[in-house]
Amino acid sequence: MAEISPTGLRVLREVAQAGSFSAAADALGYTQSAVSRQVAGLEAAAGRRLFERSRHGVSLTTAGARLLTSAIRVLDELDTARRELSGEEAAVGPVRMGAFATAAASFVPRAVASLPRELRVTVREGTTPVLTRALRAGTLDVAVLAQSPPFRPVDAESPPLELTTLSERELVLGVPIHHPFASTGVVDVGQLEGQVWVASRSDAGESLLGVWPGLAERPDVRYVVRDWLAKLQIVRAGLAITTLAPITRDVVGEGVATVAVRGEPRETRRVVLARRRGALDGAAARVVDALIAAART
């Protein structure tokens, strides 16, 4: 009779976080066939399917989500026991935080710096889909996510996450300091025609981030880069303009001016704090309070 083992539970957690068997295998240092065997063993022990397979990856079934909840608790207890047996010094925390790139470069460091030094916080950068999977897999305690309109739940998976809005502000432009827009502080949407843009691919690769949405003309996108800091360097060099999340206003640095845009379409960006539902322990609650204070300052 198949049994549920700690190794199987770790594989379950990693697949739930990664969203595919191959990505989980890479993260664990296993072969894909070894991951498949572990999942097959878990499903045999549970007597039901734990994952729905599709060409886009895998997602947890209702039974898989229930088992994941137990797996998180068991694995956390095993990790605690391992630390105690090895004589590791106890620390307050750790609290495992995730954040999208611009949040990790703006208010998240301020939040962490405001906490007592003995409270141990780790921060992992990631996209919103990656971070939401990590929350459900129990490898993150809290995550700072980005949302664009229409503001729907972060995903359709179960159980739903608890969301707290940290900020909701209109998108701005980043332009070279000597650009004609820089001295005005605000421009109309119609003035964006004929501009050269630097952008990056969206998570799905279907759209470009960095171009003002809904422009009447086909935008002149001459630069496509992955990292938003690279975008800023291209703007700073006077080569292009780009859109910026409002939370980056205080970290763009010299050589880049932020400019508001008026007219339709208006574009709003929301920053939310996400976590699994339930009571927070003292350390996690302090981290949440620090994030709320830093984001709203």
Q: What CATH code is carried by the domain that includes residue 253?
A: 3.40.190.10
Which pLDDT value is given to residue 71?
A: 84
Beta bridge partners of 129: none
Which pLDDT value is given to residue 98?
A: 95
The span from the first CA to the last CA of the chain, in angstroms, equals: 57
Predicted TM-score (pTM) above 0.75: no
Which pLDDT value is given to residue 151?
A: 60
> For every one of its 297 residues, what pLDDT tens digit does the chain have, with 9 covering 90 and above?
567 888 888 888 888 888 888 888 888 888 889 988 888 888 888 888 988 888 778 888 888 888 888 888 888 788 777 767 766 554 566 899 999 988 998 899 999 999 988 899 999 998 888 899 888 888 899 999 988 776 666 555 666 788 999 988 888 999 999 999 999 889 999 899 999 999 988 765 556 788 988 788 889 999 999 888 888 999 999 999 999 888 887 788 889 999 999 887 677 888 999 998 887 788 889 999 999 999 887
Return the closest-CA partner of residue 11 out of 24, 26, 22, 1.
Answer: 24
Residues 284 and 146 in one domain: yes
Domain that residue 31 falls in? 6-83
* Structure tokens belonging to residue 207: 């759209």
Contact 170, 268 (CB under 8 A): yes
Which pLDDT value is given to residue 99?
A: 95
Which pLDDT value is given to residue 15?
A: 87
Residues 127 and 179 in one domain: no
Residues 163 and 285 in one domain: yes
* Structure tokens belonging to residue 42: 């878990």
Output the domain CATH number for residue 66: 1.10.10.10
Contact 247, 167 (CB under 8 A): yes
The total number of structural domains in the chain stands at: 3
Residue 53 lies in a domain: yes
Residues 146 and 280 in one domain: yes
Residue 233 lies in a domain: yes
Which pLDDT value is given to residue 160?
A: 77
Cis peptide before 6 (omega within 30 of 0): no
* Structure tokens belonging to residue 21: 């068997």
Which pLDDT value is given to residue 238?
A: 95
Residue 1 lies in a domain: no
Residues 290 and 151 in one domain: yes
